[in-house]
A and B are shown apart, each in its own frame.
Chain A
Amino acid sequence: MTGESLSALALSVRVAILATAINTIVGVPLAYLLARRRFRGRAALDVLVTLPLVLPPTVTGYYLIVVLGRRGWLGAPLYAATGWSIAFTWYAAVVAATVMALPLLVRTARAAIESVDRDLERAAHTLGRSEWQTAMEVTLPLARNGIVAGLVLAFARALGEFGATLMLAGNIPGRTTTVPLAIYTAVQTGETGDALALVALLTGLSCVVLIVAGRLGARAT
């Protein structure tokens, strides 16, 4: 593999790990909220989180530009204050991968949390545990395999993200070119050998991820 392919691989792994870490922090609480709490705007939140799963990735990417671009709702004030914008940096690839992977984690984890026996939670409650303690000591440990399976799927999705990444992060060799983008460029420019190596690598990785997620899912039920 060429240096450019290797740097794409290193970037992809870094982006996927970071996106999965952010998803753990944001996605698991979200899944818990959606599974166990009834509040105003719950349905809307559910739709918002799930949208990237059904929208074309380029549409999600467009929304990200509208929000985070130099002239975006959040991007413009940030650019005015710091002269820095997230677009076309590798952080943009992390943001795109995070948003695209979030629904996979939330939906999987939410189903796992919902399948936890409520009587056990009520018992913990009666024994004087707060909701937070019950969640940490009873609900989440019991839903653990489902949550981990969701994280594995989110990791795989982050590793393979293409459309939204291309829109927000661009395709800058050595800086924002992830493996899927490198494959795209290699095919566009006719560097078939390089493309093939990366395609094989990503396919292998995805297979491993699916096997792991499948085993965890089987144990969860």
Chain B
Amino acid sequence: MATRSRRLALVIVSVLAAMIAGDAAAAPSRELVVSVAISLKEAMEELGRQFEASHGGVKVRYNFGASGQLAQQIEAGAPVDVFVSAGKAEMDRLEKKALVTEHDRRAFARNVLTVVRPADSPIDLVRAEDLLEKRVARVVIGDPRTVPAGRYAEESLRALGLWEGLRPKLIFAENVRQALDYVSRGEVDAGFVYVTDVTTRSGRVKEAFRPPDDTYGPIVSPAAVVKGTKQPALANAFLDWLTGPDGRAVLARFGFLSPPAGTR
């Protein structure tokens, strides 16, 4: 009994040791850490794959989260090379604190807000006012303090004069994908997400309606090289790739629109 457990312990230790050693050996020559707004996850992963393929020896590592959380991490000194934000305000905040520079910052996409409901929900929603109905018990938006999609949702609901009335029903999600997840699991009756999010859960959620686009935004997403990066050239190359024809093709495939001319 004792020798058996000792042998088991030995096996576990050697497996762990192999994993640690393997991980260290597998480190590529150049690594680019990119903090990405989670709404851009699939598009950026695809873009990163292409970037890696055309830049030998480069490994792109992602840090996904709500734009506000990612910006906060960078303010706290996170070792990030590139910040890809969903909203403009988060990037403005970093620029004001001189953590990104105007020169190394570029708008790369535009997005549109939509309201989704569980695919099997019996509640038919066709316009924003319907959310006030009694049958609608819970509505999820991203936490406006850290989630751009939530902030735009608040902006739109305020413009429509529905914010105060809807407040008791509102649930704040950590990021826009969590909002989408709550809807897809049927825990809530409706949620505000980006149109580009819907396809990641098609079949489980359905678009109900889109808030009038003059009530919020425009939602322009910027990316920038983070000050203090050890690889400014590579980080800039990534930005060029993102805003160049290859990046635009990938983004378009995932449903993102081109940023309005002259925005940054």
Contacts and interface: CB of A to CB of B under 8 A. Distances in A.
Interface string A140-183: 00000000000000000000000000100011110000000000
Given A188-B69, A189-B68, A171 B143 contact: yes
A185 B143 contact: yes
B: contact size bracket? 10 to 19
A190 interface: yes
A189 B145 contact: yes
A190 B188 CA distance: 29
Which of A85, A170, A171 lies at the interface centre, i.e. has the most chain B CB atoms within 10 A of its CB? A170
B172 A173 contact: yes
B185 A189 contact: no
A173 B186 CA distance: 22
A87 B146 contact: no
Interface string A183-209: 001011110000000000000000000
A87 B187 CA distance: 8
A83 interface: yes
Given A166-B174, A185-B146, A188-B145, 20 more contacts: A69-B185, A69-B186, A69-B187, A70-B186, A70-B187, A71-B185, A71-B186, A83-B137, A170-B171, A170-B172, A170-B173, A171-B172, A172-B170, A172-B171, A172-B172, A185-B145, A188-B66, A189-B68, A189-B145, A189-B146
By secondary structure, the A interface counts as loop
Contacts of B146: 185, 188-189
- Shortest 10 CB-CB contacts between residues of A and residues of B: A189-B145, A188-B69, A71-B186, A190-B72, A70-B187, A70-B186, A88-B171, A170-B171, A87-B187, A188-B146
B138 interface: yes
A71 B68 CA distance: 31
B75 interface: yes
Interface of B: 66, 68-69, 72, 75, 137-138, 143, 145-146, 170-174, 185-188
Interface string A16-34: 0000000000000000000
A195 to B, nearest CB: 11
Interface string A110-129: 00000000000000000000
Nearest to A66: B185
A190 B172 contact: no
8 contacts: A65-B187, A88-B187, A171-B174, A185-B145, A188-B66, A188-B72, A188-B145, A189-B146
Nearest to B65: A188
A87 B140 CA distance: 13
A88 B138 CA distance: 9
Nearest to B174: A171
A188 B187 contact: no
Contacts of B66: 188
Contacts of B143: 171, 185
Contacts of A88: 138, 171, 187-188
Given A172-B172, A173-B172, A190-B75, A85 B187 contact: yes
A83 B134 CA distance: 11
A187 B69 CA distance: 9
Contacts of B186: 69-71
Contact of A189 (B72, B137, B173, B187): B72
Given A71-B185, A71-B186, A171-B143, A188 B171 contact: no
